[in-house]
Amino acid sequence: MKSRQLLALTASALALPGIAPAARADTPPTENTLSYRISRYAEDDLPGQYLVAGSAERYDINIHQFQLVTPVGEEYGLTLTSSYESMSGASPWFTVPAFGDEKTVVMSGATIHEQRRDFNVALRRYLDNGNYAFNIGASDENDYEAWSGGFDMARNFNNDLTTIAGGVSFSSDDLSPTDASLFNRVTDESKRTSSAFMSVSQVIDRNSLFQSSLNVTYHSGFLTDPYKLGDSRPGSRTQIAWSNAYRRYLAGPDAALHVDLRLYDDDFGINSVTLDLSWYQNLGDNWQVAPRLRYYSQSAADFFTPVNDVSGLLAFNSSDYRLAAYGAISGGIQVQTTIDDVTLSFVAERYLSDKGYSLYDGDTSPALVDFTRLSLGIGYRF
Amino acid sequence: MKINQIPSILAFLPVLCLVLIVQGASAAETGDTAPAVQLPQLQVDGSMALADFRGRIVYLDFWASWCPPCLVSMPIMNEMRNRLQAQGVPFEVVAVNVDSDPEDGIDFLLDKPVDFIVLSDPEGRSPADYKVVGMPTSFLVGADGVIAMRHQGFRRSDAQTIENEIMKLAGGMP
Amino acid sequence: MSGSRKLLLVLLLPCSVMLSGCQPVQAWERGVLAKPEMAIDANPLETQLNNHIYFSKEASNGGHSATGGGCGCN
């Protein structure tokens, strides 16, 4: 049996590419860059005391990413991005009460295997005082297909010390869940996503800059998880995210500090806070080590219940752990070295989520996820 | 928070920050006498002045190693300079490196050497005199020391425009 | 105070910081800002993968547009 959880680890809706970035804001690429990365994402097994039935083995995913950035004529830069994922594992199917306050999870039965491919093309034109880009993308797996497109533009003011950018993007997703008749699932559903952002970037001094952006995303259509038992969600969702980035270079240690803070609100009733800190330490001319720390916490959705509602009285209901109240702490390190035109990189990350880390009260889920991720990358300029 | 209030907030954000906008002072323009430049050389000992090239057409180029279009211009201007000099055109390129660490400029030139003169101005005094507002900015200074052309940015196709202007200046010379 | 009023105030904060803290940075003084590690998005493929994972495992969505900063080159 295949799980919707798996699909969720796809860029389908995420890859709203209007928000896909330009490598550098103000000049077209002057050379080609070809990059490849391989990553392994592995979720910890569900602890035995929470497992009632099914497989304790959660997802393992291998991800290949390719990117080519190339100049086109003198004013344009073309970015081609593609990725391929192969996944295996099981996911939470539904949650049932156990003794006392305990809840236990029924996992999907067997390990499944699934692939996903996506590609995205972005063409950006660079002008004297700004740039604009169009992009189009697609994502494909056996039960999920998504098309997306976007437009964004940026304009520099104030002797290029201030940049104002904005963009819109759209995505159309079609779902055709597997084993639909066997599990009484929907057979063919779709959803639409539109998103708009606006941002202001300001150079503060020679060594620091700040960016603030506001992002509004509207989803409509089938937002329910077809692979979860008894899952039923509203037919629309509006999300607002306010993101802030601060970058500061410190000449003494030859390092750059990155601080990112995001505040989020949606009409499912979820609020969240994300704080991301990185320290890019240069070591000599050719090495860079960047430790990173991230904190995330969200409140529960209004219709989240820790165990599935079987009464049928609730209009909307879900026990999806991603709609629960929890907090997550992750730490990682990136090591990068440059040898002539070749850049090699390695990234390791460990992610732990727990109700105990949460800033918010509210119901949580026994199915929160912990994972480890490793990436190896190579980039070649020519 | 009401969703329908978001657009007004979105509109507010840039308006607020636009308050910051202050335009730069007027630039050294075509027809002005080129401000004096006297600077140490980047790779070798000794200083040079713009006035040392009086009587020749000078392409004065402000560049830095961290500016991609600057780096595009260097080999192109080197080729043009050598070709025009071989044709007997009284032309010289004087490049002013403005890297705050001159080593960065030297490293770039070790990799991609040029034949023309490169001066070093890590303090940025000369680009301030020329009121440079974008990188790269170049000035075509006539044999009489007057600015004949100001050019900001650099694309490959700009080379022809620059060469045409040089030939026009050279044609008017005795 | 309504949520949007609060949001407005928080939006004001960074702008006022900019207004008071900004120093004019000349075109030739932007070498540090042009360093790759000073980009809003210093490693696009890493960011893409991270967003992908967090988007799938968390309820939140929406992030930066990674323009701004850079060398101020023309």
Indicate the SS3 state at residue B78. helix
Q: Name the CA dihedral angle for C14, C16, C20, C23, rounded to a multiple of 10 degrees.
A: 50
User: Which letter does DSSP use for residue C74 in this model?
Assistant: -
> CB distance A24–C70 less than 8 Å?
yes
> CB distance C73–A298 less than 8 Å?
no
Q: Is residue C74 scored above 60 in pLDDT? A: no
Please tell me the predicted confidence (pLDDT) of residue A113.
79
- Chain C residues lying within 8 Å of A264, measured CB to CB: 60-62
φ and ψ of B126, to 5 deg: -70, -45
Q: Is the previous residue joined to B102 through a cis bond, with omega within 30 degrees of 0? A: no
A252: how many CB neighbours lie within 10 A of its CB?
A: 5
Nearest Cβ partner of C74 from B13, B69, B100?
B69
Please tell me the predicted confidence (pLDDT) of residue B161.
93
Please tell me the predicted confidence (pLDDT) of residue C19.
54
pLDDT tens-digit readout, B112-161: 899 999 999 999 999 999 988 888 899 999 998 899 999 988 888 899 99
> CB distance B98–C7 less than 8 Å?
no
Cα A240 to Cα A129, B7, C63, C65, distances in angstroms = 29, 12, 10, 14
Which residues of chain A carry a pLDDT beneath 70? 1-25, 48-49, 52-56, 96-103, 108-111, 178-187, 310
Q: Name the CA dihedral angle for B142, B143, B146, B151, rounded to a multiple of 10 degrees.
A: 20
**Percentage of chain B exceeding pLDDT 70:** 83
A245 closest CA partner among A219, A208, A281, A198: A208
With an 8 Å Cβ cutoff, is A158 touching chain B? yes
Record the tokens describing residue C60, joined without a space. Answer: 């939140």
pLDDT tens-digit readout, C17-45: 555 555 688 888 888 988 889 988 888 89
> CB distance B20–A198 less than 8 Å?
no
CATH 3.30.70.260 fits B28-171, yes or no: no
In chain A the domains, ranked by start, together with CATH numbers, are 4-381 (2.40.160)
- The complex's ipTM? 0.86
pLDDT tens-digit readout, A178-236: 666 666 666 688 888 899 999 998 888 889 999 999 999 999 988 887 777 777 888 89
Q: Counting one residue from A and one from C, how many pairs have CB atoms under 8 Å apart?
A: 235
Q: What angle do CA A350, A351, A355 make, to 5 degrees?
A: 150
Closest residue of B to C2, CA-based?
B1
